[in-house]
Amino acid sequence: MTLPRRAKYSGSTRGLVLAFDIGTTFSGISYSILDPGRVPEIRSITRYPCQEHVGGDMKVPTVVYYDHLGIPRAIGAETLKEGIEVEADWVKSHCLLIALDESDDQGTAGITVVDAGGDAFRAGYYQGAVFVTRRAQVHFDSALAGTKYHQDVPTITDAFDKSTKHVFRKVHEPLQIRFASPSENDATLNIRSGRIIVDGRTLAQFFEPSVSCIVYAIKAQNGNLKSHCPIKSAFLVGGFSASDWLYDQVREAIEPLGISVLRPDTHRNKAVSSGAVSFYLDGFVSSRVARSTYGIDTWVPYNPTNLAHFQRASLVEVDSVDGEDILKGFFWCILPKAQIAFVDSSGEEKRGLAQVVYEKD
């Protein structure tokens, strides 16, 4: 399908559009500068403070270090500084996970887009790139327990996350992770010249739940839409889609169903934020219906005069920052299921109950 050319910006003053993709592992920003009479272009932020690589990157870790007064001390790439965990007694905070009641993919006109970023979703469980690393950490922690190398597990895990995870391609090929000097050797632990050797089958086990998660999501949506609009193509976007192993495994499981599996050639990490800018500029989608309830798990200040709170008094915890009594486990709904969202002529988003009607052939 060929999209129509983007129109020139008709405004009389210069403007700026920003879109933020806040992922559980990495985040990114896309933008467009609106100049009157010119066709807007979508660009991405490619350099953040304290990034190691001279050329920059389109993503930054979704991590913030706070001190015990609740003041941010290190943000994004600043948190990757060597030894930051022991440099100061700070509290590390990751992004909140969005809780959905169904799979996190989108389908229209026989096409589904699966955002394989730091997190993929299945029946309430997040199984994305961050969890591949966590499974690897559990493996290293168990394999090296009781040895002098156990203290090196964080270093090994970090090296796996930054390099090994992304180059794994074949189950029959072992990969090596460097973590110590070349003088370190232990054949019983598969350590040679300061590198721990991990066989391909073990690496595949780290990925398996994530692969199953994405395959399940695509099959489930295809089953839901089959009678009205069967899926013909599935697009994997997000940073995790860059994994050749993940991509090949999903393709092998899905293509026998008559669904082609595709992914962008480059810049997979900016698909969400750039798509949000395009949504604003181009308006290809006039309205959207929420097929799931979107929201987050959160906490609220404890109020003993509230009956619902009082009945849960045994669950009260003390907030680590300000010492306030709080109750966790509350669900904050952002967008209810079956609501329709559309932008009116003034540019304001409106919401209301939706009724979906399928046209007969």
Q: Give dist(CA 23, CA 17) in Å, integer.
A: 20
Q: Give dist(CA 248, CA 260) in Å, integer.
A: 12
Residues 33-62 have pLDDT tens digits of: 999 999 999 998 888 887 755 445 677 888
Q: Are 259 and 215 in contact (CB under 8 A)?
A: no
**pLDDT on residue 271:** 72
Judge whether residue 317 has pLDDT over 50. Answer: yes
Q: How does residue 196 score in pLDDT terms, banded at 50, 70 and 90?
A: very high
**pLDDT on residue 130:** 80
Judge whether residue 204 has pLDDT over 80. Answer: yes
Nearest CA-CA partner of 179 in 206, 200, 149, 148: 149
Query: To 5 degrees, how large is the angle CA 274–CA 101–CA 335?
Result: 60
> CATH 3.30.420.40 residue ranges in the chain?
98-285
Residues 112-148 have pLDDT tens digits of: 777 766 554 433 344 567 889 899 999 999 999 999 9
Q: Are 53 and 26 in contact (CB under 8 A)?
A: no
Q: Kindly report whether the global pTM for this prediction surpasses the value 0.95.
A: no
Is 98-285 a CATH 3.40.50.10190 domain? no
Q: Residue 312 burial (CB < 10 Å; 0-12/13-18/19+)?
A: middle
Least confident of 69-83, 139-153, 239-253: 69-83
